[in-house]
Amino acid sequence: MRSDLTARARIRDAALARFGADGIAGTSVRAIAADAGVSAALVVHHFGSKEGLRQECDEHVLAGMRSAEGAELGDLLRAATPVRRYLARALLDGSESASALFDEIVTRTEKWLADGEVEGWVRPTEDSRARAVTYVSWLLAPLVLGEQVGRLLGGDPAETATAVRGARAGLEMLTHGLFADDRWLSEFTKIETR
């Protein structure tokens, strides 16, 4: 329940939602304070500045990713809508912090896929880093292109139903393959070896 949260957590959650909707530059401390039901002075007291609050949001997103292992996928998706919006906007706005978030997601994904190779449910690759970067990019693209993806899929890609629809299509392609032969792989391999 929202009222059960501490003032600090309410401010952070309000900032996640506002930053996700309006971006860092388009969000004021006063708007966050109003959304959290506190004064702007209390926001500054807890976080020092809007930048300090943004750093807290980044840490919250990273902590959520780190603690998500072993959780039920459906529960994670339902709880993550504001976080997905925040992450998309942070990546679009660009910052050292957004780059650090992306780097950590890629590093964690690279390890997860490498573990999957060892366990036998991921096919081996010659370039594990490129695979992880590409996989993460595919996962984040619907969020970054939210307006266009949502228009064609009929819903906000940060919302669970649309996220699941897009993810299922992507996972189907990754699991069963998209192409029936290797013509495109062969063409790109030729370019790479020239």
Question: Which tokens go with 191?
Answer: 């370019």
How far are the Cα atoms of 16, 19, 154, 167 from residue 149, in angstroms, in the given order? 22, 20, 8, 12
Phi, psi (deg, nearest 5) at residue 80: -95, 5
**Residue-level pLDDT, tens digit, the chain, 194 residues:** 445 678 999 999 999 999 988 888 899 999 999 999 999 999 999 999 999 999 899 888 877 777 766 555 455 555 667 777 888 888 888 777 778 888 988 998 899 999 999 999 999 999 999 999 998 888 888 888 888 988 999 988 888 888 888 888 988 988 888 888 888 888 888 886 66
Residue 192 burial by Cβ neighbours in a 10 Å radius (0-12, 13-18, 19+): exposed
DSSP 101-129: HHHHHHHHHHHHHHHHHHHTSS---S-HH
Count how many residues are written for the chain: 194
12-50 burial, b at 16+ Cβ within 10 Å, e below that, comes to bbbbbbbbbeeebeebebeebbebbebeeebbeebbeeb
Position 176 scores a pLDDT of 87
The span from the CA of 71 to the CA of 132, in Å, is 21
Overall pTM > 0.85? no
Q: CB atoms < 10 A from the CB of 181, how many? A: 7
User: What single-letter DSSP state applies at residue 182?
Assistant: S
The span from the CA of 59 to the CA of 180, in Å, is 43
Position 69 scores a pLDDT of 61
Domains and CATH numbers, the chain: 57-193 (1.10.357.10)
**Could you report the per-residue pLDDT of 63-120, keeping only the tens digit for each?**
777 776 655 545 555 566 777 788 888 888 877 777 888 898 899 889 999 999 999 9
The span from the CA of 98 to the CA of 30, in Å, is 23
